[in-house]
Structure 1
Amino acid sequence: MAPPSEEPTDGAVSPADYRTLCDLLRERTGLSFTEAKRYYVQRRLAERVEATRMPSVRDYLNLLRFQASGAEMQLLVNLMTVNETYFFREKYQLDCLVNGMLDEVVRHRRPGERVRLWSAGCATGEEPYSIAITLLERWPRVDEFQIELYASDIDSMALDRAREGVYGERSLQALPAELVERYFRPVAPGSWRIIDELRESVDFSLVNIVDPAQVRRFTGIDVVFCRNLLIYFDDLGRRNAAAMFHEALSPGGFVALGHSESMSRMSSLFVPRRFPDAILYQKPAEGAGA
């Protein structure tokens, strides 16, 4: 007699297939989904199984595992990621950027040298554009240096929206009216597009931060904004991400995390720095003790 099958008969995902999917997502993206997320994951999985016309979840998992192009994995990841954000979110860190952090970064640099900032997990672009607006509006030395602003995400559809730069009232809710007027142009009722000069100032790219080959281009970074991304990783994924940021940063560079995240729980590579506006995490300067 054959052993009882673990394959459900009601359209749900079997425990074994759910574990396989979660392991695959963690391995490929760093995203960690627990049993508590089963309903959320199962709904999105069902969408892709239907769209690909796979005869079963197990066949779909084989497609994810062996498809050379990785196109289907990208489509699934786009469904799995959460892109809830808005301009000037957690503004106190933007205040810190221009009230002290950047002045410390450029203390020993000559005018014309580069300053590199990276928005990791930029979603639909509100964060890097908020950084750009803050620099233009509030950092008196912005014209003295060559500012390079990078933004990356694992969600290709979110990046398309970021490059397009069109936003609704919800995204703009925390922006003063004068900044909306200065940096946006109306394109439809309740919809505005960020000006071309600002869109062209941000280098957007599709990056999986758990893939060493994809993050290799980020070197000599002075400030990393990685807010509310690592909460979706497990402990090992967070430690690996912290090590990757440490490698990407210049000596003395900073990491800004989300308000519920703490680098001290992830890594001992960084030194907490308390500024008047926020607590940041700093890569020790060369020759400095940790």
Structure 2
Amino acid sequence: MAISPEDAPPGLTPQDYAEFCDFLRDRTGLSYTEAKRYYVDRRVAARMAAAGVERFPDYLNLLRFQASGEELQTLVNLMTVNETYFFREKYQFDCLVHDVLDEVVQGRPKGERLRIWSAGCSTGEEPYSIAIMLLEYWSKVDDYEIELYASDIDSKVLARAQEGVYEERALQMLPAELREKYFSPVGSGRWQIMQELRESIDFSRINIVEPEDVRPFRDIDVIFCRNLLIYFDDLGRREAAAMFFDALAPCGFIALGHSESMSRMSSLYIPRRFPDAILYQKPRAK
């Protein structure tokens, strides 16, 4: 018998909470401490009510063994925070077009492939910002075959990213002339990014802790993974750093969020200080 959200069970027992956090960490990399207990309790209770499951062990079994994985995906969508905007931490995009890409393509013949991956892309503001920065500020943009990849574990935000419709808040840092150039109004206070840019980015649902999901990502020249690993524990961050290292091409770069430091996660990378930002580089194989 289905139960309503107001009749949802009380918070998880300490054992249930620990078991759930271990499960979620193993499946997604997301790590929640006791400090997030209320946040987790509410969301699990809401999903148990929606699924018509009264006992937590039964719900955990549903998450573990449901063939379609639909309930786990729905819960993950509910657990993740996806607030961002265009040109967020723009100094890293400036670094990309003023310094990093010129170094990446040095000695590379024109017409060759250049691959950039936005990992944890949320609703798409980051990969679209990269695309606009390339078109506007990188003089060699027409010299190479640029492939832009964007991924997230949340299927709902990916659908929004592919639709490319944004409200004023998401566009607050975007210069007016770029809004007029790359967006069209689609209603009161809502703008849609041009179709050519929507079609230029390969969006995919990726769980970065699943080897099968990340295996296709190889020889990436630049990875943006900003404010994603803050949701992982120390072990999860080290594992993610190693995965990104394997995904990068030799001498490729990764950009992290302003509060993140690769030196706390891995010794595999070389810190590179540019005028606009610090990025981390995979050294050339010896």
TM superposition score category, shorter chain reference: over 0.9
Structure 2 regions of 5+ residues with no counterpart?
Answer: 1-7
Q: Distance in 1 between matches of 2:180 and 2:43?
A: 38
Is this contact kept in 1: 2:9–2:45, CA < 8 A?
A: no
Counterpart of 1:271, as a letter, is I
Counterpart of 2:281, as a letter, is Q
Counterpart of 1:130, as a letter, is S
Q: Distance in 2 between matches of 1:161 and 1:192?
A: 13
Aligned to 2:87: 88
Q: Distance in 1 between matches of 2:54 and 2:232?
A: 31
With over 3 angstroms needed to count, the CA separation of the structure-2 counterparts of 1:285 and 1:10, relative to structure 1, is closer
5 Å-filtered alignment, 1:23-42, equals 23-42=22-41
Q: Distance in 2 between matches of 1:244 and 1:25?
A: 19
Q: Distance in 1 between matches of 2:146 and 2:133?
A: 13
**Is 1:77 the equivalent of 2:76?**
yes
1:221, distance to aligned residue in structure 2 (A): 0.1
Q: Distance in 1 between matches of 2:198 and 2:11?
A: 43
**Is 1:15 the equivalent of 2:9?**
no
Structural RMSD (CA) = 1.0
5 Å-filtered alignment, 1:99-178, equals 99-178=98-177
1:58, distance to aligned residue in structure 2 (A): 2.0
Aligned residues: 279
Residue aligned with 1:143, SS: coil
Deviating above 6 A after TM superposition, structure 1's stretches of 4 or more consecutive aligned residues are none
1:286, distance to aligned residue in structure 2 (A): 2.5
Is this contact kept in 1: 2:97–2:134, CA < 8 A?
A: yes
User: Larger deviation: 245-254 or 9-18?
Assistant: 9-18
1:67, distance to aligned residue in structure 2 (A): 1.2
Counterpart of 1:120, as a letter, is A
Structure 1 regions of 5+ residues with no counterpart?
Answer: 1-8
Aligned to 1:268: 267
1:10, distance to aligned residue in structure 2 (A): 6.7
Q: Distance in 1 between matches of 2:144 and 2:99?
A: 16
User: Larger deviation: 250-259 or 59-68?
Assistant: 59-68
User: Larger deviation: 50-59 or 116-125?
Assistant: 50-59
Aligned to 1:222: 221
Residue aligned with 1:117, SS: strand
Deviations 1:168-218 (A, max 9, x none): 011000000000000000000000000000000000000000011100010
Identity percentage of aligned residues? 70
User: Larger deviation: 53-62 or 228-237?
Assistant: 53-62
**What TM-score results when the alignment is normalised by the length of structure 1?**
0.95
Residue aligned with 1:11, SS: coil
